Amino acid sequence: MGSGQWAVGGVMFERVEEAAAAVRRRAGSGAPEVALVLGSGLGDFAGTLEDAVSIPYGDLPHWPASAVPGHPGRLVVGRARGKRVAALAGRVHLYEGHDAASVVFATRVMGRLGVRQLVVTNAAGGVNTRLTPGVMMIIDDHINLLGVNPLAGANDDRFGPRFPDMTEVYASRLRRLADEAAAAARVPVAHGVYAACAGPSYETPAEIRYLRAIGADAVGMSTVPEAIAARHMGIDVLGISCITNMAAGVLPEPLRHEDVLETTRRVRGAFIALIEGIIDGL
């Protein structure tokens, strides 16, 4: 997929269809009722699916490869709470050198499989100091500071319209459902705005003060491209940030990826309970 997002208009659609056909051959033709993108350290949910078919990303044609520690890289199709679920354990990021169209390849494949509901999760830093490590933040809205948009370039109308509305990227129906699931599972949740920065360097304290001033509550390096592409395809989106650390400059200590993964390990049970409750309510 090295040809760049500006050159791949019609070709991208064919590649997505080929990957979707490969998923159907391996996992069966029924459309999953929901797909989940599992963020850094949050991939364990995929291992809880019943009657699961696990497909390494490398087995799927055109699928971009990820190499970040904590991102195992497989699509698991199975059942949870009686529903057919597709879980994407591992995603690719812009900072790996992928273009924005490649970053949303998996989202496109889910849409072409017939998925109408997407849950996108991530590890994020708490910009709002009320968001402390271990809290789950339901994403109410986002700010795209990635410098790119996955819809840039020729529009393919088979995916969606040229100028899709972004008034309600994260469906209020799904946010309410997440609140109910969190209350039932006794998992503490907050709500807020997610800002996406390109990374891979963490933000500076001055950038965090800027993010706070423009209304961000959490910051991460993912999620926004997938959410935009999903809305382009008319898919309803729920976004959940696992706050893994206070953002840069809040505490007198440096940020470390190991601490991010350590927090995701600590909240593993709560995260899985929340996701199961959400799937139950869909």
- When asked if residue 207 is in the footprint of ligand HPA (CB under 6 A), the reply is no
Given the residues 17, 96, 168, 262, select the one marked as catalytic. Answer: 96
**Interface segment toward ligand HPA; rule CB under 6 A; list 105-113, 155-163, 241-249, 266-274:** 241-249
Count, residues near ligand HPA per rule CB under 6 A: 13
Residue 265 half-sphere exposure toward CB, CA atoms < 13 A? 7
According to DSSP, the β-strands at 74-80 and 117-126 are: unpaired
Q: Is 110 a catalytic residue?
A: no
Given the residues 46, 182, 221, 230, select the one marked as catalytic. Answer: 221
274 DSSP 8-state letter: H
- When asked if residue 136 is in the footprint of ligand HPA (CB under 6 A), the reply is no
Q: How far apart are CA 57 and CA 74, in angstroms?
A: 5
- When asked if residue 244 is in the footprint of ligand HPA (CB under 6 A), the reply is yes
Residue numbers 43-62 binding ligand HPA by CB under 6 A: none
Six token digits for residue 46: 């995929």
4 DSSP 8-state letter: -
> Helix 257-266 and helix 268-281: axis angle, to 10°?
60
- When asked if residue 203 is in the footprint of ligand HPA (CB under 6 A), the reply is yes
Q: Quickly count helices (H) and strands (E) in the chain.
A: 8, 9
Q: Which of 32, 125, 192, 239 binds ligand HPA (CB under 6 A)?
A: 125
**Interface segment toward ligand HPA; rule CB under 6 A; list 86-94, 119-127, 135-143, 274-282:** 119-127
Given the residues 178, 202, 245, 247, select the one marked as catalytic. Answer: 245
Given the residues 20, 27, 35, 71, select the one marked as catalytic. Answer: 71
Q: Is 202 a catalytic residue?
A: no
Six token digits for residue 261: 């993964």
Given the residues 123, 124, 190, 270, select the one marked as catalytic. Answer: 123
**Interface segment toward ligand HPA; rule CB under 6 A; list 15-23, 53-61, 219-227, 274-282:** 219-227
Q: How far apart are CA 38 and CA 43, in angstroms?
A: 5
What are the distances in angstroms from CA 9 to CA 14, 95, 101, 156? 10, 22, 10, 6
127 DSSP 8-state letter: S
* Catalytic annotation, residues: 40, 71, 93, 95-96, 123, 221-222, 245, 257
Q: Which residues bind ligand HPA (CB under 6 A)?
A: 123-125, 202-203, 219-221, 244-245, 247, 255, 260
